[in-house]
Amino acid sequence: MPILKLESLEVNYETSGSGPLLILHHGFGSWGRDWNRGGWISSLEPYATVMIFDAIGHGLSSRSHNPKDHTVEKRAAVVTALADHYGANKYGYIGFSMGGRTGLELAASTPERLQLLTIGGMHLLPANVNSRRFKRHIRVLRSGRAKSIEKPDGERPGNDPLALAASHEALLWWKGAENRLKNHIAPTLFFCGEEDEHFANAKSSAKHQSYEFFGIPNTDHNNTFFSSKLAVEKVTDFVIKHLK
């Protein structure tokens, strides 16, 4: 993968397909090439130049242990830098889970750059609405008891528990996007599995903002990303319609 240098950080990315730029941001604990699972890349690349990348702390990108490198605002800045590096003033964006929060921050902070926004498995609310769960995960990740996440998964290298702990800590600082989207006018789609713990909040977030929403029956959080043909088909149709 090519490397984008951003201050002291390195971001691994790659592109495929042709046409308008479409940036994809994976979820927590994954990496860019996980978008190949479930058929996302093969479905989208006939209609766009698809850019995938490893978020800071993940995959082959810098695995900083400093929470300041993992803030949602910093993740949004990485996306903007990738678009600038490619030479695109405007781009489409698909974010899942952690990537969904990043997309909402982009919609709040740089709405003029977005041609379309697609948010999977996530909502407008800040992560601190579940602060106990996140703090528990941080303790486990820093305790040395999370050895299973250090194991490689196919091509993906094993995760760094301390980098993931820093990511969780920084996430708790994010203020959410519920009242920050007045300037965001790009076509927007939320999608979420009906068995995902985020489903109710995702559906209400879309309704609150009058965004399009698609619920996927009998599907939880991970399967929405890794194995839902319905999700891939719906998102691809949305891209075909709005990314010009």
Q: pLDDT 10s digit of each residue in the chain, 244 long?
A: 799 999 999 999 999 999 999 999 999 999 999 999 999 999 999 999 999 999 999 999 999 999 999 999 999 999 999 999 999 999 999 999 999 999 999 999 999 999 999 999 999 999 988 899 999 999 999 998 888 889 998 889 999 999 999 999 999 999 999 999 999 999 999 999 999 999 999 999 999 999 999 999 999 999 999 999 999 999 999 999 999 9
201: left (phi over 0), alpha (psi -120 to 50) or beta: alpha
List CB contacts of 182: < 8 A, sequence separation 6 or more: none
Q: What is the pLDDT of residue 145?
A: 82
> CB-side exposure of 63: number of CA atoms within 13 Å?
15
- Rounded to an integer, what distance in angstroms lies between the CA atom of residue 209 and that of residue 202? 11
154: left (phi over 0), alpha (psi -120 to 50) or beta: left
Q: What is the pLDDT of residue 148?
A: 82
Q: pTM of the entire structure?
A: 0.97
DSSP H stretches of helix in 9-147: 40-44, 72-86, 98-109, 131-143
Q: For residue 171, which of 76, 243, 85 has the smallest C-alpha distance?
A: 76
Domains of the chain, each with CATH number or no CATH:
3-242 (3.40.50.1820)
- Six-digit token pair at 151? 């194991």
- Six-digit token pair at 224? 């929405």
